[in-house]
Amino acid sequence: MTIPTKYRGIYSQSFHDNQRDEARFNAEVTTHLDNLGSQPSGNQLLDELTALSNQRSHKLTIREKPLSRRGPMAEPVLSGHQLQRHPDLESYEEIREVAGSHYALEKDNRPNVGSSVVVSWSAHQTSMGLDRDGYPTCPTASNNDKVSLLAHELVHAKHMMAGTWKGSYEDRNDASTASGQEELRAVGMGRYAYSLTGAPSENSVRAEHGLPLRHSYCKRG
């Protein structure tokens, strides 16, 4: 069951469907969103997500997931009004595919109408670990970094809701692909740096929380 947070258009969904777990996970989500929003670019990101929800009737659900080496993940899903146009869809995979290819993905370098989003995330795996040169190691728990993984996925979520997502259908480790550019944009590297675009990113959030910057989307080697 999805539970609204205090942030309009943003909901939580616990792994177990009972009142106790729903309340616990909603509190965890709210605490981490509050932390993200305590600094300027993180607050800007939350404001942009809320505005997109209001303007386009899309919903962002943060769904609890078990810990894994894959870490959190944002996925496009159909909004309620979009689902009505596709009554024959039965599986979550079908809904996700249509949401991505028909609505979230930008078309001919122009914004699409966007979609709703599910971000699978755990409050116990909040940091993308970095080596001393800023290369990612693996998603991990952290006493200091409560924001980097969530910020990265919320940037993807914003692009999906805005219809400006570049997709994940190609090699995300290859900067020459649209999917590779989507990841660089989420990290905030190169021409996607916050100082150049004014668009919140993982690195803009890292900077304002005093965390080391990420210098590569790909792992070393």
Per-residue confidence of the chain (221 residues) as pLDDT tens digits?
Answer: 999 999 999 999 999 999 999 999 999 999 999 999 999 999 999 999 999 999 999 999 999 999 888 899 999 999 999 999 999 999 999 999 999 999 999 999 899 999 999 999 999 999 999 999 999 999 999 999 999 999 999 999 999 999 999 998 888 989 999 999 999 999 999 999 999 999 999 999 999 999 999 999 999 87
The answer to whether the beta carbons of residues 137 and 217 sit under 8 Å apart is: no
Helix H or strand E segment including 63: strand 60-64
Predicted model pTM: 0.96
Map out the domains of the chain as residue ranges: 3-127+142-165
User: CB count, 10 Å around CB of 80?
Assistant: 10
- By the 8 A CB rule, do 24 and 14 touch? yes
- Predicted local distance difference test score (pLDDT) of residue 168: 83
**Residues near 35 by beta carbon (within 8 Å), at least 6 away in sequence:** 42, 146, 147
**What pLDDT was estimated at residue 37?**
98
Give pLDDT, residue 83.
Answer: 96
**How far, CA to CA in Å, does 144 sit from each of 125, 128, 131, 211?**
12, 11, 15, 8
Contacts of 120 (CB under 8 A, 6+ apart): 63, 64, 65, 72, 73, 74, 75
Structure tokens at 133: 């040169």
SS3 at position 5: coil
Average pLDDT of every residue of the chain? 97
Instruction: Tell me what pLDDT residue 171 has.
Output: 85
